[in-house]
Structure 1
Amino acid sequence: MATETRTAQGASVPGGSSFSLSDPTVRAIVYQVLVVGAVVLVGWFLISNTLDNLARRSIATGYSFLEREAAFGIGEHLIDYSPKDTYGRAFLVGVLNTLKVSIIGIILATIIGTLVGVARLSSNWLIARLASAYVEIVRNIPPLLQLFFWYALVSDGLPPVRSALNPLPGVFLSQRGLIVPAPSDDPVWKMMGIALVVAVVVTLALRFWAKARQARTGQIFPVGWTGLGLILGLPLVAYIAGGAPVALDMPVLKGFNFAGGMVISPEFFAILTGLTVYTSAFIAEVVRSGIIAVNWGQTEAARALGLPSGPTLRLVILPQALRVIVPPLTSQYLNLTKNSSLALAIGYPDLVSIANTTLNQTGQAIEGVTMIMGSYLSISLSISLFMNWYNKRIALVER
């Protein structure tokens, strides 16, 4: 069978060889195969060498240790935990604590950063200068140093437990943190949580329906007020239907600490405040640059239509600025999530802290480090996927 080869101009010539390194396509495939083979070979060497060294030292390998009893306590946990639980459950507590700090920190940093970024562009000289000073000071202080500052402010600036401040009935403020009354255990709270989730889902569905209806008929549906009514109303209906319990678990001083109530620890306050303040300064610059990127003619056009400054910013400028803001904003969200590992320095039981305790007790450092890496990789990829999806949603569609 006759074969073809290509000339320098790309024309096919019968009778040539079908496999030639002079062909760019063939050469690219060969190089990629060689690179993949080299990576696999290096990976195999590292893994086999590591397993061989561990076997020589009689060090156990594998993740079976996750089923053994942890035998250490954790001060803060979103799910039930005791020292009798397994290492696997302790690790899950650490992941949830990291997610709690990251999610709340992202929300607060976004709000504060947006406000500060808009304030930097204010026509009011004092507000603009204060916002600029906030950004310049916070961005140039290392985050770890900021965590130490906030932790020292709380732990050293507040009185001991027996002299705790009591500004309101049932509310105490001391070196152990802020202790407030908590709702007593009742099935109605689960019902309210389900109602809240249903309200959010219905609101999102209404938003999509309202946009399609407006594009089809030009009529505007009040999604904002309707969604607010659903988000507030459905949990309230569930609360009333569940008997409207009013019993509270009040904190009481027992010995050297408080029993009952809900505690916001100094460690959680320090890590959340430090990460929020630090990241918000960078988000402020991202927002400011995004607003500046919008053509000034858009503002002039909005003013010509009689729109006040507030609606102009909210309805005209920010929607267009989002296309510039979202990509670098994703990086700041990822930085905040990864910086949460600094919680180890102030004693907050996050993912890294609990994993370190686990590997110190079990001696299985490789497994512990891979679990930390896998957890942060999964969280970061989830944030990236969501933000990339949102970025595509707001991107301009060329016709």
Structure 2
Amino acid sequence: MSTATNNLKAWWSWRMAAQLVFLVLLAILAAIVWRNLGSNLQQRGITLDFGFLNSQASFNIREAPIDFKPTDTYWRALIVGLLNSFKVMAIAIVSATFVGIGIGVARLSNNWLLRQVGLVYVEVLRNTPLLLQLFFWYAAVFLSLPKPPDSIDVWGIASFNNEGVSVPILQMSVSSEFCALVIGLTLYSAAFIAEIVRGGILAIAKGQWEAAKALGLKPGTTLRLIIFPQAMRVIIPPLTSQYLNIAKNSSLAIAVGYEDIYAISSTTFNQTGRPVQIVLLLMATYLTISLIISLVMNLINRRVQIRER
């Protein structure tokens, strides 16, 4: 027993030492890269400071959730872009989840027509590039709507024109760029989520369905109260990846002219000529968002897992 214990301690010691050496080498490599980057930029007369962000932006943002004027700083412009990105990500994640669950359940329906509609939806949207879908919704759908004031009114609830959608009850209007981006992200991501949901439901043993049927439960009740809660253990891990994809794919907003963090960063780079600082800010932003999404989903995943006693 003592020999086995000593061998285990030795193995742990070697493992910790190897990890420590790896971290030291990684730190040295990062320091070398940073030093070379700073040296090369200094030779070209470029510094790595972020003081330029306090300069006047001198450009306008059409869809800003907070007050913004061209006389404001680049910092405030980037904050506006970040808030716009958050808005797109949050709405797309929620809407794609609901649509994906609906399509995934439809793919398992006893109704032949409903199954085929779900199959066509998944195969068409999942195998078509997202960028192409965004162009379709923006150019072929929203830009083809009539110009204001000749808007399309829907029972006084909402009005549609090529500039966007207006909902008088909510005192809210959104641009056509925002609508095209959210719809494109939602429908594209929902196709992948639908297959995740379908796979999660199929992973549950048929005995669960049979037991619920023997108790007299209806199929809808069985799915909602018995099958789906168990399927969540299988669904959540791959669902996390899709949420991360939605967050990263939102950067395609620049393709339809929506002013998110990526689009505003591109404008800032073009005006200031500070590519390194802008890229570092973007990397840190998307990394932080991804880590937050992963943290939240991991916490949810822990709550739905079976706890052994």
- The Cα of 1:263 is off from its aligned counterpart by 2.4
Equivalent in the alignment of 2:90: 103
- The reply to whether residue 287 of structure 1 matches residue 197 of structure 2 is yes
Q: Are 2:217 and 1:318 equivalent residues in the alignment?
A: no
* Partner SS for 2:80: helix
Correspondence for 2:56: 69
1:354 counterpart SS class: helix
Structure-to-structure mapping, 1:1-399, within 5 angstroms:
10=4, 23-167=10-154, 172-181=159-168, 262-399=172-309
Per-residue CA shift, 1:48-73, capped at 9, x if unaligned? 11111222222232112222211111
CA distance in 1, matches of 2:93, 2:17: 45
Which structure's residues are more often helix, by fraction? Answer: 2
Contact 2:142 2:180 in 1 (8 A): no
Matched residue SS, 2:208:
helix
Unaligned ranges ≥5, structure 1:
1-6, 14-22, 184-260
Deviation at 1:168, TM superposition (A): 5.3
- Which shows bigger deviation, 32-41 or 346-355? 32-41
Q: Which amino acid aligns with 1:125?
A: W
Between structure 1 and structure 2, the one with the greater Rg is: 1
Counterpart residue type for residue 377 of structure 1: L
Which stretch of structure 1 is more off in the superposition, 125-134 or 33-42?
33-42
Are residues 395 and 172 of structure 1, via their aligned partners in 2, closer, same or farther at CA, if it must alter by over 3 Å? closer
Q: Deviations over 1:349-382 (max 9, x none)?
A: 0110001111211111111111111111111111
- How much does 1:138 deviate? 0.7
Does the residue aligned with 1:173 lie in a helix, a strand or coil?
Answer: strand
Q: Distance in 1 between matches of 2:135 and 2:23?
A: 45
Distance 1:110 1:172, change over 3 A: closer
Alignment coverage as a number of residue pairs: 306
What is the CA distance between 1:32 and its match in structure 2? 2.5
What TM-score, normalized to structure 2? Answer: 0.93
The answer to whether the Cα contact below 8 Å between 2:121 and 2:191 also exists between their aligned partners in 1 is: yes
Structure 1 residue 308: Cα displacement = 1.0
Q: Is the 8 A contact 2:166 2:173 kept in 1?
A: yes
Q: Distance in 1 between matches of 2:120 and 2:217?
A: 31
SS in 2 for 1:157: coil
- Over the matched positions of the two proteins, sequence identity in percent amounts to 47
User: What TM-score does the superposition give when structure 1 sets the normalisation length?
Assistant: 0.73
Cα distance in 2 for residues equivalent to 1:334 and 1:170: 33
Aligned residue identity for 1:127: L
Q: CA deviation at 1:10?
A: 4.7
Amino acid at match of 1:288: R
Question: Tell me, what secondary structure is at the counterpart of 1:161?
Answer: coil
How far did residue 182 of structure 1 move? 6.4
CA RMSD of aligned residues (A): 2.1
**Per-residue deviation at 1:133?**
0.8
After superposition, the Cα gap between the structure-2 partners of 1:393 and 1:25, relative to the gap in structure 1 and judged at 3 Å, is closer
Take 2:184 and 2:156, find their aligned partners in 1: how far apart are those partners? 29
Shift of the 275–301 alpha-carbon distance from structure 1 to 2, 3 Å rule, reads: same
Equivalent position amino acid for 1:87 in 2: Y
Mark the runs of 5 or more structure 2 residues left unpaired by the alignment: none
d(CA) in 1 for partners of 2:110, 2:97:
22
Measured at CA, do residues 276 and 167 of structure 1 come closer, stay the same or move farther in structure 2, by a change above 3 Å? Answer: closer
The residue identity in structure 2 corresponding to 1:31 is A
Which residue type is aligned with residue 361 of structure 1?
Q
AA aligned opposite 1:370: L
Contact 1:154 1:266 in 2 (8 A): no
CA distance in 2, matches of 1:133, 1:169: 33
Q: Deviations over 1:201-227 (max 9, x none)?
A: xxxxxxxxxxxxxxxxxxxxxxxxxxx
- Alignment partners' CA distance in 1, 2:272 and 2:23: 35
